[in-house]
């Protein structure tokens, strides 16, 4: 049993971005961490393989900073990692990323692909299901429970309001994993050291039989500009020390709810 887990290092803005109509944030202002949803997808993959034997391969399309995230996955128990990159891919949209992942998946031939529902930075919730489309795999998005019996998957799909739909499908398949499905493990210090000895391959688009321009031609959209959001009317801000803030909140509560 081979499980492929596409992961993303997400960017957090640290500081005030100077935008001026730019379509990118200066890399100096970005901090990277592994996407929260992917932690749950990786844990689900590790548990399936621990039960049935096999291999967990993590893959990312990302710049050098993304290697830290891959190492964290290896430390938790992934067997191999692949990083796909070319500087021209900076800002690639979900469909372009899915195109590159599809090329790798075609080589790897996994039985199951487990992605996160979405990434916490852009929140597209699109890459993994786009990948399923390109590979023509059956898929379920927003999965809160997974059971595997042979090639038979029984999954819980999360609906609105806490409702659940139980579905059956056959592998090979792709699922997008929701937070809370499991409790992701922490890596031991020893495992963190040993992770550096595990295979971590770096591939360019050429090694996947394409080039950056062709990969980007699959993009579904182009970012023309970034801007600070219009905050609308926004909140009336309460200033002052905590006692003054609490005082004002108490007034509002008393007026609205009564006491």
Partner 1 sequence: MTARGVLVFGIVDDGQLRPATAELIGAGKALADDGAGPLTVALLGAVTDAHGEAVDRAGVEEILLVSSPEPSFEAHVAEAALAALIESRRPSVVLAGHTVDSLGFAPALAARAGLGFATDVSGIGWGEDGASARRGAYAERLTAELDFPGRETVLLLLREGAFEPATAAGSAPVSRLDLDLAGAARTELVERRTPPAGDVDITTADFLLSIGRGVEDEEQVAKLEEIAAKIGATLSVSRPLVDAGWVPSDRQVGQSGRTVAPKVYLALGISGAVQHLAGISAAKTIIAVNSDPDAPIFAAAHYGAVADLFEVATELQQQLG
- Residues at the interface with ligand FAD (CB under 6 A): 117-118, 142
By beta-carbon proximity to partner 1, the closer residue of 199 and 244 is 244
Q: Is 52 left (phi over 0), alpha (psi -120 to 50) or beta?
A: alpha
Choose from partner 1, ligand FAD, none: what does 60 bind? Cβ within 5-8 Å by kind: none
- For the bound state, the minimum distance from the C-beta of residue 161 to ligand FAD, rounded and expressed in Å, comes to 9
- For the bound state, the minimum distance from the C-beta of residue 55 to partner 1, rounded and expressed in Å, comes to 25
What are the angstrom distances between the C-alpha of 191 and each of 6, 71, 75, 120, 197? 21, 10, 5, 26, 10
By beta-carbon proximity to ligand FAD, the closer residue of 87 and 162 is 162
DSSP string, 98-133: HHHHHHHHHHH--SEEEEES--TTT----HHHHHHH
- For the bound state, the minimum distance from the C-beta of residue 116 to ligand FAD, rounded and expressed in Å, comes to 9
Separation CA 83–CA 103 (nearest Å):
13
- For the bound state, the minimum distance from the C-beta of residue 97 to partner 1, rounded and expressed in Å, comes to 10
Burial (0-12, 13-18, 19+ Cβ within 10 Å), 252: exposed
By beta-carbon proximity to partner 1, the closer residue of 35 and 74 is 35
Choose from ligand FAD, partner 1, none: what does 164 bind? Cβ within 5-8 Å by kind: partner 1
By beta-carbon proximity to partner 1, the closer residue of 13 and 199 is 13
């Amino acid at each position: 049993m081979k499980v492929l887990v596409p992961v993303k290092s997400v960017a957090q803005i640290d500081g005030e971005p100077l935008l001026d109509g730019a379509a990118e944030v200066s890399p100096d202002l970005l901090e990277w961490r592994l996407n929260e949803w992917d932690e749950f997808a990786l844990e689900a993959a590790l548990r399936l393989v621990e039960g049935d034997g096999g291999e967990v391969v993590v893959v990312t399309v990302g710049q050098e900073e993304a290697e830290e995230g891959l190492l964290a996955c290896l430390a938790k128990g992934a067997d191999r990692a692949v990083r796909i990159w070319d500087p021209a891919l900076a800002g690639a949209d979900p469909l372009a990323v899915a195109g590159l992942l599809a090329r790798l998946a075609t080589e790897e031939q996994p039985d199951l692909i487990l992605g996160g529902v979405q990434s916490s930075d852009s929140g597209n919730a699109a890459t993994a299901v786009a990948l399923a489309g390109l590979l023509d795999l059956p898929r379920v998005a927003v999965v809160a429970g997974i059971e595997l019996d042979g090639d038979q998957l029984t999954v819980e799909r999360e609906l609105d309001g806490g409702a659940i739909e139980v579905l059956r499908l056959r592998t090979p398949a792709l699922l997008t994993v929701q937070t809370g499905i499991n409790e992701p493990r922490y890596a031991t210090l020893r495992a963190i050291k040993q992770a550096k000895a595990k295979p971590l391959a770096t591939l360019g688009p050429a090694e996947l039989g394409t080039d950056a321009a062709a990969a980007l031609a699959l993009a579904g959209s182009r970012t023309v500009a970034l801007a600070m959001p219009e905050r609308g009317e926004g909140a009336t801000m309460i200033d002052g020390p905590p006692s003054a803030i609490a005082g004002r909140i108490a007034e509002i509560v008393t007026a609205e709810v009564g006491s």
